[in-house]
Amino acid sequence: MDGEPAAPLRITAVMPRDESPAQQDPASGGRPRVVVVGAGFGGINAVKALAPAAADITLIDRTNHNLFQPLLYQVAAAALAPSDIAVPIRAIFSRRRNVTVLMGEVDAVDTTSRKVRVRDTGDVPYDFLIVATGSVYSWFGHDAWRAHSFALKTLDDADVLRLRVLGAFERAESRTDAEEIRALLTFVIVGGGPTGVELAGAIAELARSTLARDYRHIDPTSTRVVICEAGPRLLAALPDSLSAYSVKKLQALGVEVRLGESVEDVRPDGITASGQSIRAANVFWCAGTEATPAATWIGARTGRHGLIEVNADCSVPGHEGIFAIGDVTVMQDPDGRPFPALAAVAKQQGRYLGRAIRRRIEGRGDPGPFRYRDYGQLAVLGRSAAVADLGWLRLKGIPAWILWSAVHLVLLMGARNKVLVYVNWVWAWLTYGSGARLMTGIGGARKTEAGATGKAAVGDERAA
């Protein structure tokens, strides 16, 4: 199962840090003040574990919701509504009077006076600071490609992707030029990790099952879904047998799997991969991530992709009282291997760190280093098919799909969301239907995209 913390905050300035012990002493004068930046898997679980402590906790995020990112692709593919996989942060902690939630963007971290500066809000003092800001997609130095491709990281991203997918069929229905229709009904996904694989399967099923009978002038079953992976395998973290099965199942859905093909260019009309041009109206980027610029906020040492290097207790070396968890960090297991960038790691780190800080506040002993328990990885491949690697057990097909469904329902936050998602899944399975095929926010998407790319956007009938 893949997932990532919620959308990161941006820090635009960093202030010098005072190394004096007086400034490093937490809880000078009153209750300890803990500030958590980022309300993703890591940040939410850290606050939950820490909330029973006699401390004042402030959780800052630039959205007002916690997002269950492993199901974000289903929002993009019109299988679920955005509200099905998100929960208001305030509702999670409404009964915790010592937890304050702030919605805003961070402007600076003053490590001398120990304050986090939030735009339009002011300074938030801290004794303990937890950085849980997640990661962002990386275009590997080709920043110009951002304007012509669409990533999937937030609910806003999912809304845009849903508009792109559904809008492509709507525009194709009104066209007469065969080449233009083929381009509109071609979707290229760059990256063969869990997000790319699950998105490719979802779009293929939407076109070939859900939309097959809805149009009069186009044939949705002729939709071309292409997934380009630079490496030799899909789902490279899984065993070879499960990777091979994934290719087979995607191909059965009509997905064109291109392995060992690096993207060389991304244009408004498609991509070039390994010297071959593919004309497509929609390119979805799922090809890799990098850390937010969080390390520069506090002057931390970084590893590959700008990840903050942390100690075995999630503390940032040389920065007393500052910790980092989740996708923004790099931490190694006892054998020297870095932990994977998975939701499970962030959740476990959050729980561990929340308990560790609580023990410190209460004057109890050191809990010891963080230890990650790998419960396995899952990926769904469309209707009634998935792969699961639990270490001691490997599953594929319907058994893996049942396990995938059960695990995601258990991990999904909020009883309402669990019920809605379950009902949607059952309905979709029985009817081959999809329950969130509404195109809303078209005007806003048009303005956003036109401003970013200088071309017409999703809802514009002039768009190619």
Q: Where are the domains of the chain?
A: 13-62+104-137+289-361, 143-285+383-450
Q: Please tell me the predicted confidence (pLDDT) of residue 435.
A: 63
Residue 284 has pLDDT above 90, yes or no: yes
Strand order in the sheet with 263-267: 263-267, 270-273, 276-279
Q: What is the pLDDT of residue 29?
A: 53
Q: Which residue has the higher pLDDT, 10 or 278?
A: 278
* pLDDT on residue 460: 36
What's the pLDDT band for 176 if we cut at 50, 70, 90? very high
198 is an active site residue: yes
Dump the DSSP string for 15-48: E-----HHHH-SSSSSS-EEEEE--SHHHHHHHH
Per CATH, the architecture of 143-285+383-450 is what?
3-Layer(bba) Sandwich (3.50)
Helix (H, G, I), strand (E, B) or coil at 287: coil
Q: Distance (Å, rounded) from C-alpha 3 to C-alpha 142? A: 24
32 pLDDT more than 50? yes
d(CA 3, CA 404): 13
Distance in angstroms (rounded) separating the CA atoms of residues 203 and 437: 12
CA 370/CA 355 separation, integer angstroms: 11
Taking only the tens place, the pLDDT of each residue in 411-454 is 999 899 999 999 989 888 888 776 667 777 665 444 444 433 33
Q: Where do the DSSP E strands lie in 349-431?
A: 377-380, 386-389, 394-397
Q: Pairing between strand 99-103 and 56-61?
A: parallel
Distance of alpha carbon 438 from its chain centroid, rounded? Answer: 23
- Cα 421 to its chain centre, rounded Å, is 18
pLDDT at 455 over 50: no
> pLDDT higher for 444 or 176?
176
Residue 109 has pLDDT above 70, yes or no: yes
- The model's pLDDT over 348-381, given as tens digits with 9 standing for 90+, comes to 999 999 999 999 999 998 889 999 998 899 999 9
Question: Could you report how far apart the first and last alpha carbons of the chain are, in Å?
Answer: 36
Catalytic residue among 4, 198, 205, 449: 198
Please state which of the four CATH numbers 3.20.20.140, 3.40.50.450, 1.10.230.10, 3.50.50.60 is assigned to the domain occupying 13-62+104-137+289-361: 3.50.50.60
* Mean pLDDT over the full length of the chain: 86
Q: What pLDDT score was predicted for residue 385?
A: 94
User: Which segment of 69-78, 193-202, 448-457 scores lowest on mean pLDDT?
Assistant: 448-457
pLDDT at 24: 36
pTM value?
0.86
Distance CA 461, CA 13 (A): 42
> What is the per-residue pLDDT across 120-156, written as a single tens digit (0 to 9) for each?
888 999 999 999 998 888 898 898 999 999 999 999 9
Per-residue pLDDT, 449: 46
77 contacts 351 by C-beta, under 8 angstroms? no
pLDDT score of 410? 92
Query: Does residue 232 have a pLDDT over 70?
Result: yes
At 414, give phi and psi (nearest 5°): 95, 125
> What is the average per-residue pLDDT within 164-172?
95
Rounded CA separation 13/288 (Å): 26
* 3-state SS assignment for residue 398: helix
Segment 67-82 shows an average pLDDT of 93
Give yes or no on whether 13-62+104-137+289-361 and 143-285+383-450 have one common fold: yes
Per residue in 386-404, pLDDT tens?
Answer: 999 998 899 999 999 999 9
pLDDT of residue 446: 47
Relative to beta strand 186-190, strand 224-229 is parallel
The least confident of 7-16, 60-69, 298-307 is 7-16
Task: Place 463 in a pLDDT band, splitting at 50, 70 and 90.
Answer: very low
- Residue 10's pLDDT is 39
Q: How far is the C-alpha of 409 from the C-alpha of 402, rounded, in Å?
A: 11
pLDDT confidence of residue 436: 64
Please, which pLDDT band fits residue 189 given cuts at 50, 70 and 90?
Answer: very high
- Rounded Cα distance, 400 and 383, in Å: 12
Contacts of 350 (CB under 8 A, 6+ apart): 41, 42, 43, 44, 45, 46, 47, 48, 49, 132, 325, 326
Q: Give the pLDDT of residue 294.
A: 78
